[in-house]
Structures are given as structure tokens and as C-alpha cells.
């Protein structure tokens, strides 16, 4: 199986006078073939699923742009992060890329690290889940997996082959076939970006969702309870953030810009709550498309979300 190619993107400002507490992400990054640090980055340089889904091509360049946006962020309590490089998709070879990404995720989990995926189209979600499932199965763990997705779309579309619009339907089907219990919560769903067929399928599959219009700051406690219910039902949590969940003004660089979207500050607080549940095993950020990213706004938002997750993971426990 082809391994990811590590890209030398990590350069940035160095504040020598500030000492160790002045370190930035590029200074704690280690290019490696296998993970050893608490956190490991894995790029999914692919938009074949987006193209199949009739979306705007360009997300294959997302991991590179995201690393550039991350490079100068302060490292704070993070001592080291391993960059395992990118799994790149050749042409329309989506299924091959998904298999390769899944294998790297599984290897990373077996090494005891938390995989942080950099997308790339949201078709990466199927690969992320498969990697988690495979790693758990290899050690005889039949525990339930919870999926927390911040997204304007359910991504439950029917039809083959798979696209960026089908990964969670594929996950639920594969989980049923493997007798793996899965709970799926989607926060930020747009009533006007999902057909009635998709709402009906979500209900039939037992999916829980929160509409974008219901993600107001004054409902923070309600939303935290939803995440708490999900975490209480499962043994392992997979967090995935689709950047098209955010308003087009702050996230223009996506395949399908949102007309309304959800507040990034609220999502950060909900990410904190998800991490605090103590069951996070895997996370990724999807759909960064630099071709349409005005002033790098979307890359900066994606970088902040990735850094927020990493900051949570790096906090001492107990």
C-alpha cells in the first residue's frame, strides 16, 4: 500500500528571545513515517468525492493550505506533533485513497496517538471511520462509536459510487454489516441544503440533528446536553468538522458555501465539550478549498479549529 508523502511545509517565525514558551506550531512539528507523539496530522489531498458530487474542485490542495495557516500559531502546551504527510488521490481513485487513509489512521491509533485529519473533501469521513473501526477490531474492542459532525449537510445520500455526499450513509451501512453500534449527531444542518428524502433517511437511520437556525448562543446548554447524550451512549468518539457549516463570509473557501451557517465561536465551545467527554479518539476538518478562499479566511478558521482540538488533547488529565 502506498504511504503518504511528507511535505516540507513547516516554516515560520522564530522568536528566539521568548525561549521555549515562544514556540510556534512549525517548531514542534516532526515529519515522521509513523506516529509517536500524542497527536499526529494526516492529510487527505483528495477532492474526487467532491467532483463526483458535482461540487467545486480544489479541496485536494486543502492540507497544504491548512499547514501553512497552522505554522505560525503558538504551540502553548503542545510539546510535539507528528506530521505523517498526505494521502494523495490519483485521478478518480477515491476508493484507493480512502483505503490508504484508513490504514494510516488505524496505524496511528495502534501507536497510541490521536489522528487529526486535514482535508480534503468530506469523503475522508468514511476513511476516518474505517480506520477507527479497524483499529478497535484488531484489539477485540466492540465498543460503540459516536460521530459528532458539524455540517450543513447530512451527507447521507443514496447511490454508488461514493461521493462527498455519501460517507455517513456508507458508515452506517458498514457499521450494521460489521455489527458495530454507531450513533450519529449532526449539528448545523440546513433545512435548505438537504432534500426531504435526506431528512427522511436521517430519521429512518436513527440520526439525531440540530438545524443551523437552532444553533444560537443562548441554546449553548441545550447543545452541550446533546453532545453529552451522544458521549454517554458510546465508548469512542469521532469528531468531524465540515467547513461548509460556517457562514460564507468567514468560510468562502469550500465546495458549497453556506447562506446562513453556524457561529465559529459557538462551535469552538462545543468542541471543548466534546473533548472534555474523555472519549475522543479521532478528529478531522474537511472541505477546505484554497481556490475560493478569499484572504485565506477559511484556512485560518480551519487552523484555529485544528489548534483548538490539539490544545484540548494536550491538556493534562487527572
Domains of the chain: 16-314 (3.40.800.10)
Q: What is the pLDDT of residue 9?
A: 73
Residues whose CB falls within 8 Å of the CB of residue 89, separated by 6 or more in sequence, listed in order: 45, 46, 47, 48, 60, 96, 97
Beta strands at 39-45 and 114-119: parallel, antiparallel or unpaired: parallel
The set of cell numbers assigned to 198 is 435526506
The answer to whether residues 259 and 167 touch, using CB atoms and an 8 Å cutoff, is no
Q: What is the pLDDT of residue 315?
A: 86
Mean pLDDT of the chain: 95
Handedness of CA 243, 248, 250, 255 (dihedral sign): positive
Of 166-180, 199-213, 270-284, 304-318, which range is least confident? 304-318
pLDDT digits (tens, 9 = 90+) for 181-217: 999 999 999 999 999 999 999 999 999 999 999 999 9
Q: What is the pLDDT of residue 44?
A: 97
Q: What is the pLDDT of residue 110?
A: 97
The set of cell numbers assigned to 221 is 446548554
SS3 20: helix
91 pLDDT exceeds 60? yes
Helix (H) or strand (E) holding 149: strand 145-150
Identify whether 310 is preceded by a cis peptide bond (ω within 30 of 0). Answer: no
What is the percent of the chain where pLDDT is above 90? Answer: 94
Q: What is the pLDDT of residue 1?
A: 53
Of 59-63, 240-244, 312-316, which range is least confident? 312-316
Higher pLDDT, 315 or 28: 28
Helices 124-138, 94-110: inter-axial angle, 10-degree rounding: 40
Q: What are phi and psi of 194, to 5 degrees?
A: -135, 130
6 pLDDT exceeds 70? no
Q: What is the mean pLDDT of residues 32-61?
A: 96
SS3 74: strand
67 pLDDT exceeds 60? yes
- Global pTM reads 0.97
Residues whose CB falls within 8 Å of the CB of residue 20, separated by 6 or more in sequence, listed in order: none
246 pLDDT exceeds 70? yes
pLDDT digits (tens, 9 = 90+) for 133-148: 999 999 999 999 999 9
Q: What is the pLDDT of residue 183?
A: 98
Q: What is the mean pLDDT of residues 4-25?
A: 84
First to last CA, the chain: 39
Amino acid at each position: 500500500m502506498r504511504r503518504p508523502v511528507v511535505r516540507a511545509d513547516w516554516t515560520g517565525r522564530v522568536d528566539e528571545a521568548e525561549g521555549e514558551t515562544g514556540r510556534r506550531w512549525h517548531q514542534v512539528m516532526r515529519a515522521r513515517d509513523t506516529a509517536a507523539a500524542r497527536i499526529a496530522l494526516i492529510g487527505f489531498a483528495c477532492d474526487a468525492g467532491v467532483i463526483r458530487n458535482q461540487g467545486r474542485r480544489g479541496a485536494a490542495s486543502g492540507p497544504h493550505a491548512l499547514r501553512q495557516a497552522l505554522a505560525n500559531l503558538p504551540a502553548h502546551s503542545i510539546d510535539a506533533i507528528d506530521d505523517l504527510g498526505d494521502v494523495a488521490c490519483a485521478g478518480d481513485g477515491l476508493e484507493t485513497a480512502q483505503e490508504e487513509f484508513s490504514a494510516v489512521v488505524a496505524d496511528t491509533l495502534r501507536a497510541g496517538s490521536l489522528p487529526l485529519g486535514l482535508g480534503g473533501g468530506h469523503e475522508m469521513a468514511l476513511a476516518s471511520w474505517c480506520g477507527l473501526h479497524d483499529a478497535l477490531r484488531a484489539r477485540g474492542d466492540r465498543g460503540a462509536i459516536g460521530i459528532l459532525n458539524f455540517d450543513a449537510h447530512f451527507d447521507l445520500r443514496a447511490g454508488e459510487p461514493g461521493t462527498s455526499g455519501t460517507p455517513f450513509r456508507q458508515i452506517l451501512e458498514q457499521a450494521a454489516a460489521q455489527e458495530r453500534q454507531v450513533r450519529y449527531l449532526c449539528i448545523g444542518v440546513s433545512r435548505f441544503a438537504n432534500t426531504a428524502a435526506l431528512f427522511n433517511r436521517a430519521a429512518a437511520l436513527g440520526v439525531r440533528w440540530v438545524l443551523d437556525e437552532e444553533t444560537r448562543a443562548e441554546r449553548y446548554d441545550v447543545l452541550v446536553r446533546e453532545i453529552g447524550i451522544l458521549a454517554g451512549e458510546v465508548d469512542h468518539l469521532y469528531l468531524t468538522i465540515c467547513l461548509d457549516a460556517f457562514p460564507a463570509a468567514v468560510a468562502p473557501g469550500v465546495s458549497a458555501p453556506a447562506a446562513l451557517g453556524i457561529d465559529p465561536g459557538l462551535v469552538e465551545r462545543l468542541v471543548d465539550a466534546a473533548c472534555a467527554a474523555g472519549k475522543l479518539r479521532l478528529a478531522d476538518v474537511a472541505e477546505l478549498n484554497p481556490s475560493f478562499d478569499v484572504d485565506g479566511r477559511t484556512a485560518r478558521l480551519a487552523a484555529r479549529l485544528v489548534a483548538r482540538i490539539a490544545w484540548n488533547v494536550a491538556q493534562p488529565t487527572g
